[in-house]
Amino acid sequence: MSSLLLKSAKIVDSESPFHLQTKDILIEEGTITQIEDNIDYEGKCVDLPNLHVSNGFFDSSVSFGEPGFEERETLANGVKTARHSGFTSFLLNPKLNPITDSHSAVKFLQQQINTQLIDIKPLGALTKGFDGQHLAELYDMQMGGAVGFYDFKSPVVDSNLFKIALQYVKSFDGLIFSYPQDKPIAANAQVNEDEFTTYIGLKGMPNLAEELQIARDLYILEYTGGRLHIPNISTQGAVKLIETAKAKGLNVSCSVAIAHLYFNSEKLEDFDSKYKILPPLRTLKDQDALLLAVKEGIIDMVTCDHEPMDVEHKDLEFENASYGSIGLESSFSVLNQLFGVEKAAELLTKTKRTFRLSTSKIDTEERADLSLFEPHSEYIFNTQHIHSKSKNSMFLGETLKGMVYGSIYNNSIYEN
């Protein structure tokens, strides 16, 4: 794609001088060269109904399967899925085989990723093989391109190890991720502990398991200093703990999975394993608190928490099924339905700064890193909307609002 005209596109970018204006946008050699009311142009043109455009979508928690779990998802198809879903960059979780816990593992991933098509930033493991006992090659991994350190959905049980990790990464401004779950209290529970799940006979995980771990992490962060990210919070109490920590000036950020904003534990009535995720779906009271915290900015970001699972691990009785749901394809539609187009675009584009990643705005002489969508149509989400190799989406059968047309990045366009 040497040049391209976006015709009558409504710009959704609060940092752009053209925010909420409908303009023609000319892109040449990957750079926005003109933004005008009308541009005469005879080359390739994208002229779509109710076209809206924002900066390229970003997500802080995406899992694929390659290397090691290619039956779930490959890198090549995962990249195509992300681009078709409007995403031009994301953080890639280290739960692979082998686990991304060394400089060589980070470099291997970077060599496998076609950086001409998408900007993927790998996360490195915090401990070797997720063993929870020995710190991985944190400095070497950051020098190799890792933007943070995370034992994906495995809590750091050893408080002293967590303290040492925070102290160590301060010397090179590293970022620690800490999954919020007290493992002994959570035990083998698979759903939230509440009146409804008790009634249907499922072993419950109390909010205490999440909140106790967060309280410990924040207490240690206050002692050590440094940078901490808490992914996938899911309870009202977690929101209050993080709000208090931010008021103290601690350098902490957090995310919430889109599923926890849209669903609650009552979805488990039919024991459908597609709703089995970590953390588990919580109560309506927790759901409302999370929605409010996103609107008020207490929660820094949302994540689709894209985690493909093959049918052999997911299409089982609830107790035996694996955790996880894909989410790239449904992210924009769900957020647009919950918050409206402006807030949805903000949530999907403005959080790169937390991870010290470069950003752009929609203006002339800026690189064309864009997502294309329309926010008004309603549709029932089904397998035809899924590009992922795995089909384990929680949103199958849901009526959603707004469709992604595709994305533009590094002089290439993906269109649905």
Q: What is the pLDDT of residue 261?
A: 98
How does residue 314 score in pLDDT terms, banded at 50, 70 and 90? very high
pLDDT class of 73 with cuts at 50, 70, 90: very high
**Cβ neighbours for 64, distance < 8 A, ≥ 6 positions apart:** 72, 73, 74, 75, 78, 92, 96, 308
CA separation (Å) from 333 to 172, 287, 407?
38, 18, 15
**Picking from 100-104, 112-116, 122-126, 152-156, which range would have the lowest pLDDT averaged per residue?**
112-116
pLDDT digits 0-9 by tens, 391-408: 999 999 999 999 999 999
Encode burial over 11-33: b for 16+ CB neighbours within 10 A, e otherwise: bbbeebebeeeebbbbbbebebe
- How high is the mean pLDDT of the chain? 96
Q: What's the confidence (pLDDT) of residue 125?
A: 98
Among candidate residues 211, 212, 217, the one with its CA nearest the CA of residue 234: 211
Q: At what angle do helices 236-247 and 207-224 cross, to 10 degrees?
A: 10
CA distance 368 to 109: 25
Please tell me the predicted confidence (pLDDT) of residue 200.
86
* Lowest-confidence segment of 80-84, 151-155, 232-236, 357-361 by average pLDDT: 357-361
User: What's the Cα-to-Cα distance from 284 to each of 151, 175, 290, rounded to whole Å?
Assistant: 29, 32, 10
Distance (Å) of CA 288 to CA 3, 168, 374:
45, 37, 27
Rounded to a whole number, what is the largest CA-CA distance in the chain?
Answer: 65
253-303 pLDDT, tens digit each: 999 999 999 999 999 999 999 999 999 999 999 999 999 999 999 999 999
Name the band, by pLDDT with cuts 50, 70 and 90, for residue 304.
very high
pLDDT at residue 14 is higher than 90: yes
| pLDDT at res. 202 | 85
Across the range 65-90, mean pLDDT stands at: 96
Set out the domains of the chain in order of their start, with CATH numbers. 1-55+75-88+306-313+324-416 (2.30.40.10), 56-74+89-305+314-323 (3.20.20.140)
User: Do 290 and 261 form a contact (C-beta atoms < 8 A)?
Assistant: yes
pLDDT in tens, 346-393: 999 999 999 999 889 999 999 999 999 999 999 999 999 999 999 999
What count of other Cβ atoms lies within 10 Å of the Cβ of residue 44?
12
- Above 80 in pLDDT, residue 116? no
Mapped onto helix, strand or coil, the DSSP state of residue 363 is coil
Q: Is the pLDDT of residue 321 over 80?
A: yes
pLDDT tens digits, one per residue of 167-219 = 999 999 999 999 999 999 999 899 999 998 988 888 899 999 999 999 999 99
Helix boundaries (H) for 113-204: 138-144, 159-169, 183-186, 195-200
Residue 119's H or E segment, with its range, is: strand 119-122
7: buried, middle or exposed (CB in 10 Å: 19+, 13-18, 0-12)?
Answer: middle
The answer on pLDDT for 239 being more than 90 is: yes
Mean pLDDT of 39-46: 93
Instruction: Specify the pLDDT at position 5.
Output: 97
The token duo for 387 is: 């590009």
Model-wide pTM > 0.85: yes
The candidate with the shortest Cα–Cα distance to 402, out of 383, 389, 385, is 385
Rounding to the nearest 10 degrees, give the CA dihedral for residues 40, 46, 48, 50. Answer: -70
CA gap 200, 318 in Å, rounded: 12
- The DSSP element (H or E) to which 339 belongs, if any, is helix 331-339
